[in-house]
Amino acid sequence: MYDVIIIGSGLGGLVCANLLSKKGMRVLVLERQHQPGGCLQSYRRGGMMYDTGLHYVGGLAEGQPLHDIFKELDLLSLPWQRLDADGFDRIMIADREFRFAEGYDNFLETLAKDFPEERESLQRYIQLMQCTDEVWMQQTNAYDYLRSIIRNPLLLSVLSGACLKMELKRDTLPLFTYVHGNAPFIQSSWRLKGDGNMIVRKLTDNFTRLGGKLICDAEVEELVEEQGAIRKAVCKNGQAYQARYFISDAHPSVTLSLVKESQLIKKVYRRRIDNLENTNGMFTAQLLLKPGMVPYFNYNEFLYDGLEAWDGRGYMVSCRVPEDGSTYARQIDILTPMNISECAAWTDSLPMRRGEEYLQFKAQKAQKCVAVAERFLPNLHDYVLEIHTSTPLTYRDYNLSPDGSAYGIRKDAAAPLLTVLSPRTSIPNLLLTGQSLMLHGLHGVTMTAMYTTKEITE
């Protein structure tokens, strides 16, 4: 009998496991895959490690949003590298490049050089980035609000140009999501010198050292409700585990599908959760480069074909920190938004069995990504040894992410009560965590996990 059973070992599940273990609780984490980590895990190809979701994180310095909780989780001890202070993100729109400088004052002054007539608008933008009033921002459309304070359409696109870490959707994106997805990175931005498994190993080691347990290849197929509570988690291999509390790090609709018979979860609630829209997915091309050809760049480059960042056609280029001390890069990731409908021909296929046409489809997408990146890395295609790719189908099948969504349930400023979910469910001892509740990303998921654990400890 455990105090808490956690379904899923993504960041949300592992943070919950750590915080609850620190409170002296006996915790069991059940993971369906061969290894823990969810979107944080890395994979090996030809002796090189590649990340699935981690690229950079904001707000790690003392006094900033993630510092204290990462310190408590012992994540600050990992080899973080601070990105360029004079341009941690660089936005290339058409043929012009604009820089995001670290620190609110530097951020303003740097962009004011490109947009001197928009200084007042930039000041209002910086004030917005420091706003902590959640209620009105959840109910306010980001695009409409930004247009009300920024007159120049190009500046609006520039300020939103690094937002491939969220879904820029004009008619739904809440200002709350926009602000919390940007502000921590302006305070400070960091890359991990190593792969995402370093975070996974650290969190796993921490809670197992405190007596917690992780079981992989343990796919939960049912959460059994009896007498008004979840009593056990039953895995596909027939094993059953009991606990006083259960936390699901899976998508809410996936979680509800595990509770096959319930007196407390109403059909109307199931339908509402199942019918919520999910954000788009992502196409990723991960490049292995020839040694000594492409200098390492300590920033992220965001590229747009036209002048509008809100059309969903941008590309993010991120460079892996050389772990051997070299000044040359060996790995570059290129990401671009992608709806799962582009993969409709292979919807019913299984991983590694999608066929030659799918491989050709991905190869064409990857070559497009490389061609776009050549706008600031000339002749990049000549330096590529290997390309590994993923689509929304990858997220769907490996992480059980409905529609291959990259950011979970789509938040809607017009319906915050419907799309911002509580950790609580109608079953008193079944709680939710993860990116679909409040906020996504390392910052959002970590904060959400803290809220989830407080439902048990306070």
Cα(419)–Cα(400) distance, rounded to whole angstroms? 19
Contact assessment for residue 67 and residue 428, using Cβ atoms and an 8 Å cutoff: no
Query: Tokens 């510092």 label which residue?
Result: 67
Report the alpha-carbon distance of residue 455 to residue 362 in Å, rounded. 43
Closest CA to 434 of 31, 39, 3, 78: 39
pLDDT of residue 133: 78
3-state secondary structure of 118: helix
Q: What is the pLDDT of residues 7-39, one digit of tens each?
A: 999 999 999 999 999 999 999 999 999 999 999
Among candidate residues 163, 187, 180, 147, the one with its CA nearest the CA of residue 59: 187
Q: What is the CATH number of domain 2-54+196-276+407-457?
A: 3.50.50.60
Question: Chain-centre distance of CA 301, in angstroms?
Answer: 18
As beta bridge partners, residue 190 has: 57, 82
The burial of 79, by beta-carbon neighbours within 10 Å (0-12 exposed, 13-18 middle, 19 or more buried), is given as exposed
Alpha-carbon distance 280 to 36, whole Å?
24
Q: What secondary structure does DSSP assign to 385-410, as a single string?
A: EEEEEE-HHHHHHHH--GGG-SSSBP
> How would you class 124 by CB atoms within 10 Å of its CB: exposed for 0-12, middle for 13-18, buried for 19 or more?
middle
Residues 75 and 392: their CA atoms lie apart, in Å, by 29
pLDDT tens-digit profile, the chain (458 residues): 999 999 999 999 999 999 999 999 999 999 999 999 999 989 888 888 899 889 999 999 999 999 999 999 999 999 999 999 999 999 999 889 999 999 999 999 999 999 999 999 999 999 999 997 788 999 999 999 999 999 999 999 999 999 999 999 999 999 999 999 999 999 999 999 999 999 999 999 999 999 999 999 999 999 999 999 999 999 999 999 999 999 999 999 999 999 999 999 999 999 999 999 999 999 999 999 999 999 999 999 999 988 789 988 899 999 999 988 899 999 999 999 999 999 999 999 999 999 999 999 999 999 999 999 999 999 999 999 999 999 999 999 998 999 999 999 999 999 999 999 999 999 999 999 999 999 999 999 999 999 999 999 98
Q: Which H or E run contains 319?
A: strand 315-319
Distance CA 235, CA 216 (A): 11
Q: What is the pLDDT of residue 236?
A: 97
Radius of gyration (C-alpha) of the chain in whole angstroms: 22
Which ranges in the chain are annotated with CATH 3.50.50.60? Answer: 2-54+196-276+407-457
CA distance 88 to 82: 9
Q: What is the DSSP string of 48-60?
A: EEEESS---EE--
Q: What is the pLDDT of residue 94?
A: 82
User: Residue 371 phi/psi, 5° resolution?
Assistant: -60, -40
Alpha helices in 29-164 (DSSP H): 67-72, 104-114, 119-129, 134-138, 142-149, 153-159
- Span 186-233, pLDDT tens digits: 999 999 999 999 999 999 999 999 999 999 999 999 999 999 999 999
Question: How many whole angstroms from its chain centre is CA 458?
Answer: 28
Residue 218 DSSP one-character state = -
